[in-house]
A and B are shown apart, each in its own frame.
Chain A
């Protein structure tokens, strides 16, 4: 099987400071990869490099495109990369405000992604948007409301609907459940797991919440000071951590 995404020796420096360095991994279709680490460990830098928001200083990122097979996304033209990020990729920001257009209705937010890939029939777009809002548990009487009138949890679900409506194959998520209260978090986790299974999505999730990765991620990568210190099967890394930092991380969780 060809990996959907293959990262080779990714490094990003901010001046002399390390953002992340020497990161390599393969992500296969249907797999969810969790990236954990403390603030400043380089996990968001890495995610932004992978998603094409930041240009890494070295390395290559091969994505298995639908038409041409594996292509290095760092060496694609800007137009090709933008097309990918509108079709096969999705990016869920920690703060829904970064991923939504706050002045446009909920339905418009979802419809916009569809229009970006060529949908033009108003009735179809509206029907598709209603369907997706339903899947993320936003009732259709809120279709014409703006996200600014929504609660934080609803905004996050709307952002997910907007991202998934075009049927992406790879979703990047930056702390998708951060800043949400726990009951909303649980709902979102359930939603994400269902979507991963039903749509065969692959995802890369950056978080500092180990409980979230245990439930969502198949594999785990632990970062510290820009380096990947350990990676493997999620429950193996959490139950039998090998690296000093991972052991500290795992033993620092408060038991509920």
Chain B
């Protein structure tokens, strides 16, 4: 479902004397449907960078990133948008929403985007919010004023609203209490069971051991630092 072939990336900082920082080289991996692969490596090794390259908000210098039929490294903006709408879900660490939009609508939005009717989308959103212990009294409020943990759970609900065939999870269990962490792990297991290909970053070693089928250490893709 996800196939990464010989991918490289560097950052050029024009405003800092044009410094070029190579951050990734020769990265390759594949994820089959129903499989969860955990990215590991020290902080700064490039886990999030690789994830963002797959999501398409970081450009890829060379190589191929195939998600389904789409090569993200080469796709037009509107192909990437279509991919994100239908195929590739992404749960980032931070919730970014239009202020004033009620939580229920924030969660239902990915479903509305794929053409689900409003009633079904809202029912699914409410079911997810219930599972993630967001009290009903908060559903009609914007999540911008929620606590960090609540925002994180709203973000997860939104990420799991549509049954994406491929998913990227960036620290989905960070800052969650035991009950909610368990719920999130169940959601991941359910997604795997229905055949989703998942790439995740989990600092929580126990969670990683439970949901990940394989681990890939991204430090192997870090270019040797020029002395």
Interface residues of A (CB under 8 A from B): 28, 31, 186-187, 189-190, 193, 197, 214-215, 218-219, 232-233, 235-236, 239-240, 242-244, 247-248, 251
Contacts and interface: CB of A to CB of B under 8 A. Distances in A.
B184 to A, nearest CB: 24
23 contacts: A28-B78, A186-B98, A186-B100, A189-B98, A189-B99, A190-B100, A193-B98, A197-B112, A197-B113, A232-B59, A233-B57, A233-B77, A233-B80, A233-B81, A236-B59, A240-B52, A240-B59, A243-B14, A244-B15, A247-B13, A247-B14, A248-B15, A251-B15
Given A240-B59, A244-B14, A247-B15, A218 B81 contact: yes
Q: Describe A's contact surface by its main secondary structure.
A: helix
A20 to B, nearest CB: 21
Contacts of B80: 233
Contacts of B127: none
Interface in B125-151: none
A242 B56 CA distance: 14
Contacts, number: 55
Nearest to A27: B78
Chain B interface bracket (under 10, 10 to 19, 20 to 34, 35 or more): 20 to 34
Contacts of B94: none
Interface in B12-27: 12-15
A186 B80 CA distance: 27
B86 to A, nearest CB: 14
Interface in B56-108: 56-59, 77-78, 80-81, 96, 98-101
B189 to A, nearest CB: 29
B142 to A, nearest CB: 9
Contacts of B12: 242
Contacts of B81: 218, 233
Contacts of B13: 247
Contacts of B15: 244, 247-248, 251
Contacts of B58: 236, 239-240
Contacts of A244: 14-15
Contact of A190 (B57, B59, B101, B112): B101
Nearest to B101: A190
